[in-house]
Amino acid sequence: MLFSDLKLAPAILRALETEGYTTPTPIQGEAIPVLLEGRDLMGCAQTGTGKTAAFCLPLLHHLAATAGKQHGKAPKALVLAPTRELAQQIADSLSAYGRHTGLYHTVVYGGVNQRPQVAKLRQGVDILVATPGRLLDLHQQGVVNLGEVRHLVLDEADRMLDMGFLPDIRRILKLMPTQRQTLLFSATISKEIKALAETLLQNPVEITVAPQVQTTKLIQQSLYFVDKEQKRDLLKHLLETEGIARALVFVKTKYGADRVAKALTANGVPAQAIHGDKSQGARQQALNQFKAHRTRVLVATDVAARGIDVDDLTHVFNFDLPMEPETYVHRIGRTGRAGASGVAISFCDADERNLLRAVQKQIDQEVPLVTDHPYALNLSPVTLVQTFESSKGKNGFSRKPKSSSYGRKPYGPKPGGNGSYGGPRKRYARSDA
């Protein structure tokens, strides 16, 4: 299937041509036709699947039909997103895909001066992208009218609930007409998400795209056992010896992010940290410099990194393993986008072995262990197969292990195999040896 088969407005197809998109991703192929029919949608999909275009293109299509003929300045479509970065990224996508439609959009989020946002709203917009808090603020000030919204999108709804936005979302819903098309996207479908969907969506089409771990076959994963105190040295060593031009490094805490960025910069590797304590301006600047290849390393916490979309990112480091195993999949999905290859390197110290176990269970795969590096820590491997001790049931009888990696081929190309990733050939230890 091609985009040209999708009956999108010619102005949108032209913009897609400029973007170099020819083939819809699976979620786009499934969602766009039903959204063009005006159906509600419940989409289970993560970043990296092309979900942004999956909802932006039909939105633009619906509104383009009436562009220029609309009266009033109130937005006709609202996209809610949990973070400033994601909101900005959606607005950037609307700029790209909607460049020939004559439609106006703007983005509002907290943490920055509201004056420019207010000025844009006063001029009138067709599509408004917003984080919930700032939107309510502006509504209370009488700056925005949601009474004409006919299309509503909730993006990363699970994240919005995690961040405590549910009461704000409920308040926002009361401000808009009930006659509308509603789309809800979430990476995970919990009981809370289901409950929210039931109150919001009418006879929705449900679309689930395969978890990213299956769509990221091109990501080469590797694991390094290392002492907590030597992680920074190992990171610097790998950046130097592996010829890594640019990397996104995930750390657990804001403080840790600052420490890693400072240490790298002090050692001649230009790095910047991005986390919730930094002002919006500082975060955007760090991101812009990274995108422009002026900063080699961006060190980020998970919340700050949500919504960061950097084209041609080749390397992701898990400096600290994530507390939630699903986060691992989100993190490594930042590389290997849209069919490109990528490398995901994870560090694991002695205290993180349980987190590693959870990650491996999540992806149903053992991450190949690299042992020949100067900071190698001698830990016993973490295997997918449960040991006799840990597989004992309550009454002392052993249970069959739930899954085993024996005989299963690891995802991703063989390390050093086809040369597509460059870098020296490494010795990989079998972690189930």
Q: Pick between residue 52 and residue 221 the one whose CB is nearest to ligand AMP.
A: 52
CB of 427 to ligand AMP, least distance (A): 34
Overall residue count recorded for the chain in this entry = 433
CA torsion sign, 87 to 90 to 92 to 95? Answer: negative
The continuous run of DSSP H or E covering 291 comes out as helix 280-291
CB of 331 to ligand AMP, least distance (A): 14
Closest CB to ligand AMP: residue number: 52
CB of 348 to ligand AMP, least distance (A): 28
Catalog residues that contact ligand AMP under the rule CB under 6 A.
21, 23-25, 28, 47-53, 309, 311, 337-338
Q: Pick between residue 126 and residue 156 the one whose CB is nearest to ligand AMP.
A: 156
CB of 11 to ligand AMP, least distance (A): 17
Q: Pick between residue 48 and residue 211 the one whose CB is nearest to ligand AMP.
A: 48
Report phi then psi at 90, rounded to 5. Answer: -65, -40
Q: What is the DSSP letter of 112?
A: S
Single-letter amino acid, residue 164: G
Q: Pick between residue 50 and residue 58 the one whose CB is nearest to ligand AMP.
A: 50
Distance between CA 154 and CA 289 in Å, rounded?
Answer: 29
- Cβ 90 vs Cβ 155: under 8 Å: yes
Q: What is the DSSP letter of 226?
A: B
CB of 110 to ligand AMP, least distance (A): 22
Which has the closest alpha carbon to 156: 85, 205, 69, 260? Answer: 85
CB of 336 to ligand AMP, least distance (A): 11
Distance between CA 193 and CA 379 in Å, rounded?
Answer: 39
Q: Which residue has the tokens 């060593």?
A: 237
Single-letter amino acid, residue 393: G
- Cβ 300 vs Cβ 250: under 8 Å: yes
